[in-house]
Amino acid sequence: MKLNHKTIRWQTGSYEELPNDLRELVDMARHMREQAYAPYSHYHVGAAVRGLSGKIYGGANVEAVIYTGTTHAEQQACNTMALDSAVPKNQRCFTALACVAKHGGIPCGFCLQFALEFCADRNSLIVGVDVDTGKVTIASVENFCPLSVFDRDSLAETSGPA
């Protein structure tokens, strides 16, 4: 599967067809899924993001009896990247995100919105892997979220001293 990050719309395929850099990301997400703590829903999710530096950060969902206290896997991966003091703050964003779960492995709406805030740009890739079928779905952040609640560019224009 040859991917052009600038023009990718929607592609489906299998793990074996992925380029090595995305396979590495999916492998980390699979590993993180095994670490998930989901005693209530039994829905285990693993995620991984590749930062601008090339470093991979993983995350797994961690449930709490009060569901609002639950941490999503994609959120945890982005948080780990965002708090990495070894990376300059302006480079704490991802070029690709992988999510591994049942039912398609596509991030939920909350996580897609979270991805918008931490993606390097709207051409950053999201890779969803269904653990039951092995089906892989790939699209850019732009295609997953054509209309968003948050636009980082407009925030930059309004932040700072008045």
Strand ranges in 2-93 using DSSP code E only, listed in sequence order: 10-14, 46-51, 56-60
10-residue mean pLDDT series, the chain (162 residues) = 58 90 96 97 96 95 91 96 89 94 91 90 91 92 77 50 36
pLDDT at 157: 47
Q: Beta-carbon neighbour count of residue 41 at 10 Å?
A: 11
pLDDT at 3: 58
Task: State how far the Cα of 34 lies from the Cα of 61, in Å rounded to an integer.
Answer: 10
Taking the domains of the chain in order of start, what are their residue ranges?
Answer: 10-158
List residues with catalytic annotation: 74
DSSP code per residue over 25-84: HHHHHHHHHHH-B-TTT----EEEEEETTS-EEEEE-B--SSGGG-B-HHHHHHHHHHT-
DSSP 8-class letter at 137:
E
CATH topology (fold) of 10-158: Cytidine Deaminase; domain 2 (3.40.140)
pLDDT at 4: 54
pLDDT at 160: 37
Task: State how far the Cα of 84 lies from the Cα of 87, in Å rounded to an integer.
Answer: 6
pLDDT at 90: 84
Determine the 3-state secondary structure of 40 from DSSP.
Answer: coil
Q: Beta-carbon neighbour count of residue 155 at 10 Å?
A: 10
Task: State how far the Cα of 91 lies from the Cα of 69, in Å rounded to an integer.
Answer: 28
Determine the 3-state secondary structure of 133 from DSSP.
Answer: coil
pLDDT at 74: 97
